[in-house]
Every structure is written in structure tokens, then in C-alpha cells.
Amino acid sequence: MSCWRFLLSLVRRPVKAVCVALFAIALGGCGTASATPAQSLLSDPNEIVSRSLAQMEAAVSVHVDGTLSGSVDPNSLSALLGGPETGLSGRFKLDGASITGDVDMVRKALHLTASLPSLFGSSAELLLVDGCTYTKIKTLLSPADQTYTKSKVPTSLLQPSAGPDSTPDFAEVLEQLETSLDSAGATAVLVGEEKVVGRDAYHVTESLPADMVTRALEAAGGGAASGVSLDLAPVDYWVYVDSLQPASLQLSFSSPALGTMILALTLTNYDQPVTIQAPPDSQVGGS
């Protein structure tokens, strides 16, 4: 059973790979599970992953906090994922970058904000509501009355079998991903127990076969992926011992063309009320 399934639907197309990794681990489709805390310690990493993803599927909402570090080429990453020119050249350090937000599992909605202090104090905001994304990136040159950019959530990578006008379904996306990971022979290893926000948590690592990473790149970038290699380190995944809910994950990759990135996320405040709404039309510009 794979723990790669948290990353999928977090961002618009230029940063979809990171989004894919994010929802992929968080939103598993492994059947139903009781919210009853674990009665005894588990030793099988596959069982830990399977039961944690089932708990995630049963969740109503979750809060996410994270950090980004590394150095990436934004134009290369955008081209790989089918996005436009970013207007930036060279590699940019992500050190000190942070992410925070909420995910509404029932409405299939999310609201994330990112702070990028190393990029001249830039920031970004992402909303996913009713199958559309609303994004706003602020820099020193951004106008005071800057509006959100609206676009349809792309389904080509998230749901290869879906039509162009479909709304991404997190559960279906993860079921497809789970099937791919299991058939590819992804392996999980139990490292031990550690603390996450003061709570005991299982620490599991999972390695993904190199050919699966290559296929994912080709699916994401098509012709733009030609000659692009990606070295993906084993995914570190933590699960709360008392509730068997996903607690944290760390994903890192390196690529001669794209650069390096480390994404670390912590999940808290399960099933708390969240309100995620699209911005008013007066604050939305062209797509």
C-alpha cells in the first residue's frame, strides 16, 4: 500500500506536481475506518499507511502548515507542467518559504497561502472552489488593486480518464494513484516512533520505482519532459498513533533541469469547521 497519495490537488498547473504530491498522500481511498484510536501499536508499515489513508478519507477537513526549501528554475518547472512563461530567469532559492491553509474534504475545496521571503518578500494565494482555481501572486511590482486569476482545474494529470470539463474528484484521483503505486511495487518501511506537534507518531518511509517517476513526468509534461530526469528521495510519512490520521510528510527531489526542492507538511485540526469561498467577481480578473 502506498503513502505517496497526499499531494494531488493543491495548485494550478504550473505547480501541479507539488500539488499532486500533496493531495496524493493526504486523501487516500482505502476503504472506511473507525475514528476509534488505535488499541495497540502496529508494526506493519503497509497496514499503518492503509489505515491512515482510510482515516483521511473519512475526515471532513484538515489544516496544513508547511515549509519549502531548495532552489528551482521556475521557467523549466512551468514548461514541464504546461504553464506559461513566468518572466523569471535562473534559479531562485526557496529557503524560508512557508505554506499554510485548510482543506475541505467534503466540498473538494482548499485555500492556501505561501510566503516567499527570499523572492523579495513575494507571496502567493491559491483557492480551489467548485472546480476552479483562483490565484494571486504578489511582488514588489504588483498593483495595489491586483485581482485573482481564475482558471479551470486541469484534469489531464489528476484524472487522465476525465473529460475536459470535469471537476477533479479527490477520491477518484487517489484511487487511480493507489492502483498505479501498488502495481509499480512501491515499498514502505517502518522507521520507528517520533513526535509530531507533541503527539506520538509512526514514521514510515516509502520508495517509488524510478520508472514510475519517469512515467509521471511524461504524463505531466508531454514533449517538455523529454530528457528531463528527476531523482525522488524516499517519501517520509508520519501517522498519529492515537488516531491513525496522517500527521506529516516530507518530499524531496533533485533534477539537473528543474533544481532541488524539499516540501515538508504537517496536518492538524482534523474535522474543524472551515469556510472556503470563491472571491467576489469584483476581485477576479481574466484567466
pLDDT in 10s for each residue of the chain, 287 residues: 433 333 333 333 334 433 444 444 333 333 334 444 444 699 999 889 888 888 888 899 999 999 988 887 766 665 554 444 555 566 778 888 999 999 998 888 989 998 988 777 788 888 988 888 888 888 777 777 788 888 876 554 455 555 555 555 555 655 665 666 666 677 889 999 999 999 999 999 988 766 666 666 555 545 544 556 667 778 899 999 999 999 999 988 887 777 788 889 999 999 999 999 999 999 898 65
User: For residue 96, is it within any domain?
Assistant: yes
- Using CA atoms, how far apart are residues 8 and 17, in angstroms rounded to an integer? 8
Task: Retrieve residue 187's grid coordinates.
Answer: 515499498
- Residue 278 inside a domain? The answer is no
Assign 3-class secondary structure to 85-148.
CCCCCCCEECCCEEEEEEEECCCCEEEEEEEECCCCCEEEEEEEECCEEEEEEECCCCCCCCCE
Angstrom distance (rounded) from CA 191 to CA 238: 10
Q: Which residue is it, cell 508547511?
A: 66
In a domain, 5, yes or no: no
Overall domain count for the chain: 1
Residue 180 falls within a domain, yes or no?
yes
283 assigned to some structural domain: no
Q: Which amino acid is at 193?
A: E
What's the CA gap between 135 and 13, in Å, rounded?
11
Return the closest-CA partner of residue 115 out of 92, 135, 138, 134: 138
Confirm whether 284 is domain-assigned: no
C-alpha pair distances (Å), 95 with each of 11, 92, 142, 208, 250: 20, 9, 22, 26, 15
Q: Cell triple for residue 37?
A: 484510536
Within a domain: residue 108? yes
Per-residue model confidence as pLDDT tens digits over 25-62: 333 333 334 444 444 699 999 889 888 888 888 899 99
CATH number at residue 84: 2.50.20.20
CA angle, residues 211, 9, 194, in degrees to nearest 5? 75
Which residues span the domain enclosing 163? Answer: 13-269
Model pLDDT for residues 160-205, shown as the tens digit of each residue: 555 555 555 555 655 665 666 666 677 889 999 999 999 999 999 9
